[in-house]
């Protein structure tokens, strides 16, 4: 199942190039009272809502996917977790480019088996999350602002101290992630947490539709120019291991997002550019920079 959010927060079932308006299913969600528990209630209840979503399609109006303004498929993640330097070629690229590492978090392993083992994972502000239709607003004009395309993993249920062997059962689905960043000396979480610096989309593809999330070709172009191309099979620390690492430190809640890392080819974008990102099985999206 492919689920999107669009326009003013409507819920869509995506089939082919059509979006069926199934917003009425939100009325099945329980009312929330303060203090509101962390996480995204729709993602938490997604499995039990699937039959209602499918049933709602029968009488639903539809529009072409290209005609709607896509929001983030996850409305209220409690946090966004990201993996640093998780492709070997990007490690090499970072070491070779002083503007990328800038003497911060240089990726020498120094006896560690991976950059994640050395540095751990890091957090991005939940307020940085937007959808493809909202675009990216450059928050640091005059500095190098880079695109980083990644496989994004959306957690479906509460998880704490999860073993890698059990980790995939906690996944609700997947989408394309853009981990935008400005280069500089500030802490990584600060440089990557500006509003609009986490783009998720075009929709959430539920886990049952993706047989092997570790083998999906993905790429990004900027104004038609190829920039990055890779496959998660080349991840240094895989999806299951990232969930294990993250859940050891943080309690994961439904709707939490794990950005799995970006490959080589990161480069700058500026206002007026259009990024075109795609991941096999997860769709493709155009994201404008302003």
| Gyration radius (Cα) of the chain, Å | 18
Q: Which residue has the tokens 């890698």?
A: 164
Give me the percent of the chain exceeding a pLDDT of 90. 89
Average pLDDT, the chain: 94
Signed CA dihedral, 262, 220, 271, 177: sign only: negative
What CA–CA distance (Å, rounded) separates 174 from 238?
Answer: 14
With a threshold of 0.75, does the pTM exceed it? yes
Tell me the pLDDT of the chain (290 aa) as tens digits. 999 999 999 999 999 999 999 999 999 999 999 999 999 999 999 999 999 999 999 999 999 999 999 999 999 999 999 999 999 866 666 666 666 555 455 556 667 889 899 999 999 999 999 999 999 999 999 999 999 999 999 999 999 999 999 999 999 999 999 999 999 999 999 999 999 999 999 999 999 999 999 999 999 999 999 999 999 999 999 999 999 999 999 999 999 999 999 999 999 999 999 999 999 999 999 999 99
DSSP-derived secondary structure letter, 176: E
What's the CA gap between 61 and 21, in Å, rounded?
6
Distance in angstroms (rounded) separating the CA atoms of residues 76 and 98? 35
Cα–Cα distance, 223 to 202 (Å, whole number): 18
pLDDT at 103: 47
User: Of 58, 72, 44, 64, which Cα lies nearest the Cα of 199?
Assistant: 72
Distances (CA, A) of 202 to 69, 142, 173, 249, 282: 10, 29, 13, 29, 8
Q: Which residues of 125-160 are buried (b: 16+ CB within 10 A; e: fewer)?
A: bbebbbbbbbbbebbeeeebbbbbbbbbbbbbbbbe
């Amino acid at each position: 199942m492919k689920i999107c959010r669009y326009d003013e927060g409507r819920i869509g079932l995506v089939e082919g190039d059509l979006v069926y308006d199934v917003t009425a299913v939100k009325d099945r969600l329980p009312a929330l009272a303060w203090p509101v528990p962390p996480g995204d209630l729709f993602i938490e209840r997604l499995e039990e809502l699937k039959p209602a979503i499918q049933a709602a399609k029968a009488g639903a109006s539809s529009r072409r996917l290209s005609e709607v303004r896509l929001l983030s498929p996850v409305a209220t993640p409690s946090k966004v977790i990201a993996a640093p330097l998780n492709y070997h070629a990007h490690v090499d690229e970072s070491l070779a480019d002083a503007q990328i590492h800038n003497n911060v978090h240089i990726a020498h392993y120094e006896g560690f088996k991976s950059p994640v083992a050395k540095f751990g994972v890091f957090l991005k502000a939940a307020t940085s999350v937007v959808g493809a239709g909202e675009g990216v607003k450059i928050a640091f004009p005059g500095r190098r602002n880079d695109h980083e395309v990644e496989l994004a993993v959306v957690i479906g249920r509460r998880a704490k101290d999860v073993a890698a062997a059990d980790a995939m059962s906690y996944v609700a689905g997947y989408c394309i992630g853009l981990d935008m960043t400005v280069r500089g000396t500030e802490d990584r979480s600060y440089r990557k947490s500006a509003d609009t610096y986490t783009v998720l989309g075009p929709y959430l593809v539920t886990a049952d539709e993706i047989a092997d999330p570790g083998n999906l070709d993905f790429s990004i172009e900027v104004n038609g120019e190829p920039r990055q191309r890779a496959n998660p099979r080349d991840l240094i620390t895989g999806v299951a291991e990232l969930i294990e690492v993250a859940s050891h430190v943080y309690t994961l809640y439904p709707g939490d997002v794990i950005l799995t890392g970006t490959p080589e080819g990161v480069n700058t974008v500026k206002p007026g550019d259009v990024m075109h990102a795609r991941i096999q099985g997860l769709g493709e999206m155009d994201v404008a920079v302003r």
